[in-house]
């Protein structure tokens, strides 16, 4: 990688005080489940899922004197001391980032004229995040739009003035037949917010259940057409996700 690669963690440019080298991360971390079957060679495949991702890199302190390099080390320790995952961005990823937490820093490697640390970040959500996008489904209408990325996005749906349609339900449906069904028990307009990533639905500020016949909206990469039953414009906000 070399000196030209910019690394930013939690809003701090680490390459101002350190030279980055020896980046190591897996291409596609996967957990594969198998089951032994009596009388069968090998194992039976039971499924696979994305595993957590480790990103390790070497940071070498800038500084002409030992005191300057030690000050850089203290600065690095302060930057890495976070309580929850924070954005980790590499310059070559064009603004995309992982949500990661430092997992290990290793011991300092001290030489005559430089000091290096191997720092490992753990991304429990193993995909990168890109641009945040928002589109609006018009009241009682439909909208076609494209979702960029290489991994499904989980949107938040906000309808400040949702009013039920047929059967007392407000609905957002996809062309493929999947849909979100929200019961609004009164005829007047009510605020609806559905966080599909956290799987939390509120109607008039009260947490409620999604109707069992429906499911949370998932935006696969590609073209989508959403249609509303009921009224009240709905803003669909999502962040692109990338492998």
pLDDT in tens, 85-134: 999 999 888 899 999 999 877 677 776 677 788 899 999 999 999 999 99
Domain at 130-242, CATH from 2.60.120.860, 3.40.50.170, 3.20.20.80, 1.10.1130.10: 2.60.120.860
Q: In this structure, which topology does domain 7-126 adopt according to CATH? A: Elongation Factor Tu (Ef-tu); domain 3 (2.40.30)
Sorted by sequence, the CB contacts under 8 Å of residue 7 that are 6+ apart come out as: 13, 14, 15, 20, 57, 59, 88, 89, 90, 91
* Confidence at 4, pLDDT banded by 50, 70, 90: low
Region 144-161 average pLDDT: 96
Dist CA 134 CA 175 (whole Å): 19
Give the best-scoring range by mean pLDDT among 13-27, 42-56, 106-120, 131-145: 131-145
**Hey, where are the domains in the chain?**
7-126, 130-242
Residue with tokens 């198998």: 34
pLDDT in tens, 52-79: 999 999 888 877 788 888 888 888 889 9
Task: Quote the tokens at residue 42.
Answer: 């090998």
Using H for helix, E for strand and C for coil, what is the string for 196-240? CCCCEEEECCEEECCCCCCCCCCECCEEEEEEEECECCEEEEEEE
Sorted by sequence, the CB contacts under 8 Å of residue 158 that are 6+ apart come out as: 192, 193, 234, 235, 237
Give the best-scoring range by mean pLDDT among 17-26, 138-147, 162-171, 185-194: 138-147
CB 230 within 8 Å of CB 168? no
What pLDDT score was predicted for residue 68?
82
pLDDT in tens, 182-231: 999 888 999 999 999 999 999 999 999 999 989 999 999 999 999 999 99
What is the pTM assigned to this prediction? 0.82
Give me the residues paired with residue 228 across strands.
Answer: 172
């Amino acid at each position: 990688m070399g000196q030209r690669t910019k690394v930013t963690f939690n809003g701090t440019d680490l390459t101002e005080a350190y030279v980055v080298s020896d980046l190591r991360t897996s291409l596609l971390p996967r957990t594969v489940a198998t089951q032994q079957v009596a009388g069968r060679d090998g194992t039976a495949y039971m499924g696979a899922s994305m595993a957590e991702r480790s990103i390790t890199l070497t940071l070498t302190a800038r500084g002409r004197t030992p005191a300057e390099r030690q000050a850089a080390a203290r600065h690095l320790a302060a930057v890495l001391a976070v309580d929850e995952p924070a954005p980790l961005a590499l310059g070559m990823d064009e603004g995309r980032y992982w949500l990661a937490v430092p997992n290990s820093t290793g011991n300092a490697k001290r030489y005559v004229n430089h000091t290096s640390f191997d720092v490992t970040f753990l991304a429990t959500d193993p995909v990168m995040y890109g641009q945040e996008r928002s589109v609006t489904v018009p009241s009682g209408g439909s909208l076609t739009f494209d979702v960029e990325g290489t991994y499904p996005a989980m949107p938040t749906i906000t309808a400040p003035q949702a009013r039920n349609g047929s059967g007392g339900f407000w609905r957002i449906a996809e062309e493929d037949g999947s849909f979100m069904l929200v019961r609004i028990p009164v005829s007047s307009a009510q605020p609806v917010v559905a966080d599909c990533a956290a799987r939390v639905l509120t109607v008039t500020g009260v947490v409620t259940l999604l109707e069992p016949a429906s499911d949370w909206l998932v935006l696969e990469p590609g073209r989508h057409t959403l249609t509303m039953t009921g009224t009240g414009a709905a803003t669909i906000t999502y962040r692109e996700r990338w492998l």
